[in-house]
Structure formats: C-alpha cells, structure tokens
C-alpha cells in the first residue's frame, strides 16, 4: 500500500514547480483571466479636453459598452501635450485591462514623428478595437472676406502671417493639417494654440480668430447653424455629411488628405486573453446599429479594420505621416 505521505510530498513538489515556472505553465490560466474579466469599472481615458471629437465619441461608446461587459465604462479626460499626457498615463497604468485609451492619429501617428522629444512610444500599446474615421473641415468666421479656398489663399498671400487659425493644441491633427495647407499653398498663417477644441471653436465663433481645421463631429453643428463658413473638407472627395462643400483636392491641392482614425488601446503587456475580451466587447458595441448610426450622425465614418490588423493599420498611417512631416520639415520642440 502506497505511503500517503509520499503522495502529499509529490503533490507539493508539483505545485512548487508550477509556481516557479510562472503563469504561462498553468493550464487554462490565460483563458480564466479573460473569462473572469472585467469585474469592476473600466476607465476610458481621453487624452484631450471635453467637447472635442475624441470626447464625444468616447461617451457614446462608453455608455453603450456597459451591456457588453456588465460593468460601467467611465470616461476620464487627461488632456495636455497634444494628447501625450493622457497617452502616457495609460501606458504607465497596470496592464490589467481596466485603463484604456481613445487614441487617434495625433497620439499614435503624428506625435511620435513630429516631436523632438516624443516620450514613450505608443507603438508598444496593445490594440483593442477600431472606432471610426473622422474627416476634418476647414472653416472661417463668416465676416472673413473669403468664400472659397482660392480666395482664402489670395487673402493670406496679400496679408502674410496676419490671418490667424486656432487648434486644439500643438501637434494635434488640426494643427498638422493646417501646416500642410500652408506648405502646399505657399502661405504663412499665425497659429494660435488653445487647450482643446472647444475654446478654439469659441474663438472663431466670437470672431477673435479667422479660421481653423476642425473635426467633423464638432464642426457640423456650427456649419449647419451658419455660425461658420465651411470652405473645404480634408478628404480627397466630398463628404456625405457635407456634400455642398468641396474637398481640398477638388480645390486644387492634389491628393491632400487629413483624416483622423480613432481606436481603443490598452497598456503594453496586457494579456492576450484580456485584450481579446475587450476587443470582442468593444467591436460588438461599435457594430450595434444604434451606436453606428449615432457615430455616423456625428460625422464619424466606419473604420473596417479588425483588432488583428489594427497595429499594421496604425503603423502604416504613422509611416505615411512621418514621411509627410519630414518632407515638409515640420518639427515641434
């Protein structure tokens, strides 16, 4: 008859070996992590101030995502540094899936290429789910003597460095889009950076600055109310939400395109099982007809890129903008 003490010692030895080997050697641990997740509130960090496109889109997605996870998804704004502060806050968070970033072209494609000291590289973050593509709109205050892009260019050439434009901050998508317009048109404008889209828009509405390139979700209400005059969209063709407005390509700038993608990212090192659970939940949320329709009404177009392909999509976009930035000689200290 076997000695029970030997069996006990054998079980203890096996347990010790498994613990020393680490979680990867415990069968089903990763699956269990994904299945037990989440069991508390998720935080969705928006690296820009309230009322901008990233903020309003995040709130639509966060509210609907509760059904997918059985937990609240709370939106937090961590603005500053053109999106770098909020991005790095998420990158430094524990890789447990409870802190996510609403990233976009500014955070993942432009900032790492345009800044002399870019900080942490967002390419190390774990892609979770695509949210959408967002076109931008060039608009001016109604009292400005320019009713088209050619008229605006002529006015800018007659008044070098006198016309003003606002942005949500240095290094943001609107800033780069306007800098590219300057480079393409051979004009010099006066940049007035603000701490977010809302104060920049308010300055145009009040006639304090002349123009800005704004995202479709935040620009549409003001255009529809005739509070500003839209001159062009930043897509290569006209946009379905503003068919009466020409594209910059149509206005004489061949192949000019400045469209922002929006997607969710988790901190580096987030386990595959948790990333998969998050991806499934958020992809299902964005695909819901009510959510898709709401985003579409705001001017957010579908971004048909699966989670498995999102890293490659972001890398390709970063390479494209990196080449544009180097060619134009644009750098931000």
* 292-310: pLDDT as tens digits: 999 999 999 999 999 999 9
Which of 242, 272, 299 represents a domain boundary (last residue)?
242
Q: Are 146 and 119 found together in one domain?
A: no
pLDDT of residue 34: 53
Domain at 170, CATH number: 3.40.190.10
pLDDT band per the 50, 70, 90 thresholds, residue 333: confident
pLDDT band per the 50, 70, 90 thresholds, residue 267: very high
pLDDT of residue 4: 44
pLDDT of residue 32: 40
Domain at 281, CATH number: 3.40.190.150
Rounded to 5°, angle at Cα 58 from 54 and 64: 160
Alpha carbon distance 220, 206 (integer Å): 17
* 215-256: pLDDT as tens digits: 999 999 999 999 999 999 999 999 999 999 999 999 988 878
* 7-62: pLDDT as tens digits: 443 444 433 333 333 333 333 334 444 568 999 999 999 999 898 899 999 999 99
Contact between 332 and 170 (Cβ < 8 Å): yes
Is the confidence at residue 171, as pLDDT, over 90? no
Contact between 86 and 267 (Cβ < 8 Å): no
Domain coverage including residue 196 = 136-242
Q: Are 154 and 177 found together in one domain?
A: yes
Is the confidence at residue 319, as pLDDT, over 60? yes
pLDDT of residue 20: 35
Q: Are 225 and 314 found together in one domain?
A: no
Q: Are 205 and 268 found together in one domain?
A: no
Alpha carbon distance 293, 219 (integer Å): 18
Which of 242, 277, 295 represents a domain boundary (last residue)?
242
Which one, of 291, 295, 288, 266, lies nearest residue 279 by Cα? Answer: 266
- Which residues, in sequence order, are bridge partners of residue 332? 115
The answer to whether residue 188 is domain-embedded is yes
Q: Are 46 and 82 found together in one domain?
A: yes
Is the confidence at residue 156, as pLDDT, over 60? yes
Q: Are 141 and 237 found together in one domain?
A: yes
Question: Three-state SS for 327?
Answer: helix
pLDDT of residue 325: 83
* 84-93: pLDDT as tens digits: 999 999 999 9
pLDDT of residue 66: 97
pLDDT of residue 27: 33
Split into its structural domains, the chain has a count of: 2
Alpha carbon distance 88, 117 (integer Å): 13
The answer to whether residue 22 is domain-embedded is no
The answer to whether residue 3 is domain-embedded is no
Q: Are 145 and 203 found together in one domain?
A: yes
The answer to whether residue 154 is domain-embedded is yes
The answer to whether residue 119 is domain-embedded is yes
Higher-confidence position of 271 and 255 = 271
Alpha carbon distance 109, 313 (integer Å): 10
Is the confidence at residue 155, as pLDDT, over 80? yes
Which of 209, 242, 275 represents a domain boundary (last residue)?
242
Contact between 153 and 187 (Cβ < 8 Å): yes
The answer to whether residue 230 is domain-embedded is yes
Instruction: Average the pLDDT over 58-75 and give the result.
Output: 97
pLDDT of residue 137: 97
Q: Where are the alpha helices (DSSP H) in the chain?
A: 4-21, 29-35, 53-69, 84-91, 105, 111-114, 149-158, 173-185, 197-205, 216-224, 272-287, 289-298, 307-328
Q: Are 142 and 235 found together in one domain?
A: yes
Q: Are 95 and 60 found together in one domain?
A: yes
Q: Are 215 and 311 found together in one domain?
A: no
The answer to whether residue 321 is domain-embedded is yes
In this structure, the number of other CB atoms found within 10 A of the CB of residue 215 comes to 30
pLDDT of residue 54: 94
Instruction: Average the pLDDT over 171-193 and give the result.
Output: 90
Q: Are 182 and 236 found together in one domain?
A: yes
Q: Are 308 and 212 found together in one domain?
A: no
The answer to whether residue 293 is domain-embedded is yes
Higher-confidence position of 6 and 140 = 140
% the chain with pLDDT above 70: 89
């Amino acid at each position: 008859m076997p000695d029970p003490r030997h069996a006990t010692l054998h079980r203890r030895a096996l347990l010790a070996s498994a613990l020393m080997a680490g979680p990867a050697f415990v069968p089903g641990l990763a699956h269990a992590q994904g299945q037990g997740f989440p069991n508390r509130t998720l935080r969705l960090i928006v690296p820009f101030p309230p009322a901008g496109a990233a903020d309003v889109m995040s709130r639509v997605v966060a509210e609907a995502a509760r059904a997918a996870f059985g937990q609240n998804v709370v939106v937090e704004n961590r603005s500053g540094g053109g999106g770098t502060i909020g991005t790095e806050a998420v990158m430094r968070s524990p890789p447990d899936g409870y802190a996510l970033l609403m990233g976009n072209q500014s955070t993942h494609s432009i900032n790492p290429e345009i800044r002399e000291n870019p900080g942490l590289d967002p390419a190390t973050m774990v892609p979770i789910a695509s949210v959408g593509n967002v076109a931008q709109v060039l608009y001016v205050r109604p009292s400005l003597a320019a009713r088209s892009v050619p008229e605006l260019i002529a006015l800018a050439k007659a008044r070098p460095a006198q016309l003003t434009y606002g942005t949500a901050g240095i290094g943001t998508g609107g800033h780069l889009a306007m800098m590219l317009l300057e480079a393409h048109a051979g004009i010099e404008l006066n940049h007035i950076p603000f701490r977010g889209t809302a104060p920049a828009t308010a300055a145009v509405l009040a006639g304090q600055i002349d123009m800005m390139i704004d995202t479709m979700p935040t620009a549409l209400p003001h255009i529809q109310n005739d509070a500003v005059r839209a001159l062009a969209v930043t897509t290569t063709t006209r946009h379905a939400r503003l068919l009466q407005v020409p594209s910059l390509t149509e206005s004489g700038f061949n192949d000019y395109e400045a469209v922002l993608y929006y997607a969710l990212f988790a901190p580096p090192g987030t386990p595959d099982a948790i990333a998969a659970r998050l991806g499934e939940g958020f992809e299902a949320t964005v695909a819901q007809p009510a959510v898709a329709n709401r985003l579409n009404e705001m001017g957010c177009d579908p971004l048909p890129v699966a989670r498995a392909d999102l890293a490659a999509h972001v890398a390709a976009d970063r390479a494209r903008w990196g080449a544009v930035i180097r060619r134009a000689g644009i750098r931000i200290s």
